[in-house]
Each structure stands twice: as structure tokens, then as C-alpha cells.
Amino acid sequence: MAISVVCDTCGKRLNVKEESVGKKVKCPACKNPFVASPSGAIRVKKVEKGKAAKVSISWGFIGMIAGGVAVLGIILLIVFGPVRAKKEWDPMSAKAENDIRDVVERGLQVAMERKGEWSQGDKGQAPTVNEVLMLWDMMVMGLPEHIKFKGTTNQGEYTGTYNTRTLEVNAEVELGGHVVAGTGEAQVHGDSKAKVRGYNKDGDFKVWVDGTPAEFKVKGAKSRGAKGTQDLPVAPGL
């Protein structure tokens, strides 16, 4: 065991053997002899050669730092992922919902007309869309190309996707069902479905039903002499 003492002449702190305390020793710094006084002596534990001093590690503190880094990483992922994607989507969400409503409603009406179950000018409620519900994924890391949606019409339920790049609507629409408006689901599902596709870009409104253009039938003018029409008077003969 070594003892730490102080030189009386130069004040240098020295380590001496325990048995040298109280005896004269020579200071290696100032070369003057002095008595290694036991008063104020400090015991110094000798470090064994070849062994490094041990460093105490607090695993709790390391765990706390790792947890803080993980939380910070999650916050950054949310800010630069889902939050940024939602900010990109919000300005276009209203148009998307309107486009979906217009395309699905036109497709539904034409599909009903083709089946002979409705036509323009019929009395009663026309086939209409009740609501549009966008199915936004909160874990997306960027604005997705396709966003799912669903909703109901007065003929049943419909589902599909909206393309955020081409602004195109693709949907499967039930026909022949029954829905109470505001319930968000069909009380009776339709007995058939129509595939509806379309878009509305800068006033260019196009819709297809089952792969063909969704155009209403044009009612032709009634022929002369047909029932319900008035014939022109016949000129008297000469």
C-alpha cells in the first residue's frame, strides 16, 4: 500500500511506502530531504500492472438514452411521413369526394337504365349517392397513389379506389338493394354489381360502365301519325 505525502520544501505530493512514513525521504523534485509526515497522509491503492482501472457503467442510464433516441426517431417518422402525406392530401380531398360522387352516381344511373329499372324522366327518386367515405391509412409514409373509399347509394353499397395522380375513380357499385340514408350500410344488398370507371378533369367528365361509355339513351322524336301526336291537316284537293 502506498501513502501520499507532501514535500515540506516544494509542496510536491509524492507516493511513498507505508513503512517510510515518519522517516526522512528525499524529494525527487527539489532534491531536499524531508520527514514523510503521517499527518494528512492519504492511502493510495496500488494498481496492479496489466490491469486497467474498472469503469462502472449504468445500464439504466444507457437504456434511458436509447429510449429517448427511439422516441425522437418515431416523432420524426410521423412528422415526415403520415403528417406530411396528410397535408398533401387535404387540399385535394374535397375534389376527390366530389369526383367519386359524380362518377358513381352517373355510372349507377346508366347501369339502372340498361337494366330497364330506371330512365331519365321517371317519377320517384332517381338513383343517387348517399355519402362518400375515404379510407385514409394513418401509417403511410407519403401520399399514396391509390386511396380506398366506400359508401352507399339508394341501391346498395359501393367500394373503390381514387388515383391521386390521374384523378381516376374505379368502383364496384351494387344495384337492386335497399339503403336507409344516414345508416352507412345496406339493409338489403344489391343482387348485381356494375364496374364503374371515370374522371372529371377540368370539365372533361367521362364515365364508363362495365367497359363501355356511360351514355343515357336518347329518346327519339315521335313519328308523324304516331299515337299522341297531332297530324298536319290535309290540303283539300282541287
- Beta bridge partner(s), residue 186: 179
pLDDT tens figures, 40-98: 555 555 545 555 556 566 777 777 777 777 776 655 454 555 788 888 999 999 999 99
What values do phi and psi take at 167, rounded to 5? Answer: 65, 25
Handedness of CA 83, 87, 89, 95 (dihedral sign): positive
pTM to 2 decimal places: 0.60
List, for residues 182-215, the tens digit of each pLDDT value: 888 999 999 999 999 999 998 899 999 999 999 9
Q: Which of 74, 77, 104, 129 is nearest to 197 (CA)?
A: 104
Long-range contacts of 177-186 (CB under 8 A, 24+ apart): 178/154, 179/130, 179/152, 179/153, 179/154, 179/155, 181/130, 181/152, 181/154, 182/130, 183/152, 184/131, 184/133, 184/152, 185/152, 185/157, 186/152, 186/156, 186/157
Write down the H helix ranges in the chain.
Answer: 59-78, 84-114
Q: Residue 228 pairs with which residues in a beta bridge?
A: none
Handedness of CA 32, 4, 13, 38 (dihedral sign): negative
pLDDT over 70 at 123, yes or no: yes
**Whole-angstrom distance, CA of residue 236 vs CA of residue 233:** 9
User: Looking at this protein, which amino acid is placed at residue 183?
Assistant: T
Domain layout of the chain by residue ranges: 2-44, 66-213
Residue that has been written with the C-alpha cell 449504468 in this structure: 58
